[in-house]
Amino acid sequence: MKASGLLRMAIAQTHAKCRGDYSGGVTRFPVPDDKVSWSVNWPEYKPVDYTAPAVERGSARTDTDFRKIKPDVAPRFNEIDGKVDRRSYCGTYTIETNGVPRNPVGRTGMVGRGLLRRWGPNHAADPIVTRWKRDSSGTVMKMADKPILEFVAIKRRDCGEWAIPGGMVEPGDTVSGTLKKEFGEEAMNSLEASPEQKKRIEEQINQLFSQGQEVYAGYVDDPRNTDNAWIETTAVNFHDETGEAFGKVKLCAGDDAGAVAWKELHFSLQLYANHINFIKKVIELRNAAF
């Protein structure tokens, strides 16, 4: 296969879920694998224009549709725009003639913002909390002579899929702060905790998250992506080598999570978006079984 063909195949594989069914019954314009890349000329491409009503109504944390209000006043893309970081891990992204940013990976069959609040990159943070799986005696369990990992997973309320307990980085927030906040809200239900419980949860998280290793920073093949708005994330692994630190943490589903549990890392694991790719990087980092 020629190099160009291999490149198109790689793009298609990392840009699959964002061409599938969209929430709310909205149908995307079908995009075959060989038409994903913007470098392929495709005059017949007619993507559906969709921004969810809740996003259209907006808030202080949501971009406006400047195409309809003030076409000449667009956000400052590819730079820090006030408190919003509009830079991409993918590098400088293209701005279309109508002023909207172009998805750096390729076509999705939809323009507008869909369910996303911001034009261009919507930054997220994903904390991957892991420990070794142990038997009743405390011995680390193995498979094919490699130790087995477990990680904290949440079951998303919106689609019922298991996922890493992450979330969006709000304007002015840091990635490290978001990692702690999202884990507390989704895996420990800090939002419904009493002031005393919330303080204890914050102390536990600060201790647990004192050290971490970044395993990924880049584009996410998320089903909410469009041609003009997409998710990028920073995934960080927080590993409990002895099993003592996270053993003291009480998991309790909250916020967007319908359930929370320690999940064994296994090749048959099905996860939301391309979270499995982040998990595979942790497997490699820890030299664990899979």
pLDDT of residue 208: 77
pLDDT of residue 290: 86
Cβ atoms of 22 and 46 closer than 8 Å: no
Q: What is the mean pLDDT of the chain?
A: 86
Q: Out of 16-25, 104-113, 124-133, 255-264, which region has the weakest mean confidence (pLDDT)?
A: 255-264
> pLDDT confidence of 248, banded at 50, 70, 90?
low
pLDDT tens-digit profile of 39-98?
A: 999 999 999 999 999 898 877 678 988 887 665 578 999 999 999 999 999 999 999 998
Q: Give the closest residue to 189 by CA, choosing from 250, 137, 241.
A: 250
Task: Name, in order, each residue with C-beta under 8 angstroms of 254's C-beta and a sequence gap of 6 or more.
Answer: 185, 186, 187, 188, 189, 190, 191, 192
- Give me the helices (H) in the chain, please: 3-13, 53-57, 175-187, 195-208, 275-286
- CATH for the 123-286 domain, from 3.90.79.10, 1.10.760.10, 3.30.70.1350, 3.10.20.30: 3.90.79.10
Question: In which region does residue 109 sit, left (phi positive, over 0), alpha (psi from -120 to 50) or beta (all else)?
Answer: left
Torsion of CA 74, 79, 84, 88, to 10 degrees: 110
* Residue 24 reports pLDDT greater than 80: no
Q: How distant, in Å, are the alpha carbons of 106, 134, 182 from that of 179? A: 28, 26, 6
Q: 38 by DSSP, 3-state: which?
A: coil
Task: Name, in order, each residue with C-beta under 8 angstroms of 258's C-beta and a sequence gap of 6 or more.
Answer: 154, 155, 156, 157, 160
Q: How many C-beta atoms surround the C-beta of residue 212 within 10 A?
A: 17
pLDDT tens-digit profile of 259-282?
A: 888 899 887 888 988 889 999 999
Q: Give the closest residue to 169 by CA, choosing from 222, 102, 124, 228.
A: 124
CA atoms within 13 A on the CB side of 48: 16
Cβ atoms of 224 and 55 closer than 8 Å: no
